[in-house]
Structure 1
Amino acid sequence: MDTKRMIFCLLVAAIISPVFTEEWRASVVKELDALVTSCVVVPCSFTHPKENLPTSRLRGIWHRSTDKNQRIYYEDSTQVLENFRGRTKLLGQLGQNNCTLEITNIKDHDNGPFCFRIELARTETDTSTVDKFSFVESCVTLRMSLPDPPNPTLSHPKTAIQDRPYTITCSVRHTCPSHVPKLTWSRGTADEVTEVHKEISLGYWEAQSILAIIPEEKDDHSDVTCTAEFNGQKTSSATLRLYVKRTENYNHIIIPTVAVIGTAVIFAVFCIFMVKRYKKRIAELQNQEGSVWNRLSECLAGESKGEN
């Protein structure tokens, strides 16, 4: 009986303990590749043991992991490190447990790690703090591994066919959905372009521009370029050379064949006409020969009667 009670208690402890140990939790992406001069959005969410609270009673703080007083974001900008003033802001609503941070104009020393801290005010009017928690085990590090912007990737069928629809997809990965890279084409109109933006993994997004064109014969061996302009005005591009396959044309077969058949028909009609004319002439000659013979016979017959 004691063994059963012990097992039961262990099961209850296993179920209940995470509830208490995980009441204060933050979910923050661990590492992000940052493009210098551009921007980074750090996805962040948190939970707390209190009841649902309005954003007005919550204060969010982002700080260096080594010192919570070295703040890179706070609603009072005078308490923010001078190097980060005007470059950081919260994109999420704290009342919805969203602590997502945006950092613009990335510097090559903005590597972090940076951690999130939450403070709870007594009331909406009394801003004195009654509770606070720093999520020092869930921090983000920025890797300055992108001194230059990544080049777009072009996806397309290998060969274009003349006068048939042809699509080219230009894609580029980035870390700043609040300032999506602008994708432009060296040809085409706005009606021929479709844009798509999607999250591909935590902290990374992909911008796509799909160009739909109808290649002509003159487009063979021409270039199509997609240019990506990132926040901070850095650009990169990728170029595709079009190889246009001409539409199958059978005129080189049809025209000579028709000419030969037409010539043969004309020649046959001419031959038939000549044969008929020849036969008619022979018949006329035969008739003429018969008339002459008849007349000669009559003459001979008349002479014979006269001698008698």
Structure 2
Amino acid sequence: MLKLTLFLVMLHALPETHSFLIHEKSNRKNWLVRTPALVRATRGSCLVIPCSYTLPKAATGHSSYNGLWKKGTEQVIAAQSRKKLPHQDFQGRTRFLGSMHKRNCTWMMWNVRDSDAGLYFFRVHIPEYRSYSWSYQPTKVQVVGADYPDVKVTSGRAGGDVLAHCSVTHSCPMNPPTLTWNHDGTTLRGSRWMDDWLWMTNSILHHRPQQNTTLELRCTVTYYGGHTLYSTVHYG
């Protein structure tokens, strides 16, 4: 719950002038949704699709709003209302993170499968007014293999202290990958938003070698779901 709260705070804190919700379209009645046009999700991990929307003036005076995401034209995959259960292929793997009254329609998926690739769109239902689907403006999800971490020595000298940097990009800010080193030292870890749907997790290692020999630095990334990969760099 703490991770969810912190993530939603970060989501609302992003500056409006630098929006990560890049795929937008409106019709003559001012129905507008902002979502990424394309998201690449790591197989076995998770993804978050950011989303916000606006309504025509005639629709804003009502007190009840329901929202849901669909895959294709039939499968409901995430909904704000607990009365609307996801399709069986998505039960226990998706969650509606946003708040309809705050015009936030962000959602999340865990344990991404190859079969999850496809087109997804958002639908809003206002019981006292009408329903509206942005089926003409879907978000395309591509399922890809895990990336190897990028590792490099950023400063140091032979026989002296070494500063190394390791990073990996992902689409899962709620459960970011973990990065570990094969040598002891002082580490600084963090994650940051890049653009659109993309996030980066990084780790900086300050290591002091015990002897003047060639140093092998290995950084291992462990993704949500347990998949691991590593990259190695030699220095000295």
Name the TM tier (shorter chain): 0.7 to 0.9
Confirm or deny that 1:156 pairs with 2:153.
yes
What displacement does 1:22 show? Answer: 6.1
2:52 is aligned, of 32, 42, 45, to 45
What does residue 196 of structure 1 align with?
190
Residue in structure 2 matched with residue 179 of structure 1 by the alignment: 175
**Aligned-residue RMSD, C-alpha:** 2.3
Q: Does residue 1:225 correspond to 2:209, yes or no?
A: no
Contact 1:224 1:241 in 2 (8 A): yes
Runs of 4+ in 1 over 6 A off after TM superposition: none
Q: What does 1:1-308 correspond to in 2, within 5 Å? A: 21=28, 23-49=30-56, 50-51=59-60, 57-65=64-72, 67=73, 69-74=74-79, 75-76=81-82, 79-122=85-128, 130-146=129-145, 149-157=146-154, 160-163=157-160, 165-189=161-185, 192-216=186-210, 218=211, 220-243=213-236
Residue deviations 1:129-188 (CA, integer Å, cap 9, x gap): x32211112211111232xx100001323753434x431110001011111101111122
Contact 1:159 1:242 in 2 (8 A): no
Structure 1 pair 19/82, CA: closer, same or farther in 2 (3 Å)?
closer
Asked if the contact 1:53/1:95 (under 8 Å) is kept, the reply is no
TM-score (norm 1): 0.62
Give the match's secondary structure for 1:95.
helix
- Structure showing greater Rg: 1
Unaligned runs of 5+ in 2: 1-24
Which amino acid counterpart does residue 176 of structure 1 have in structure 2? C
Tell me, what secondary structure is at the counterpart of 1:241? strand
**Higher relative strand content:** 2
Q: 1:17-38, CA deviations, whole angstroms, 9 ceiling, x for partnerless residues? A: x997262111111112222111
Identity of aligned residues (%): 24
- Gap regions ≥5 residues in structure 1: 1-17, 123-129, 244-308
Task: Provide TM-score, normalisation by structure 2.
Answer: 0.80
**Relative contact order: is structure 1 or structure 2 higher (C-alpha 8 Å, sep ≥ 6)?**
2
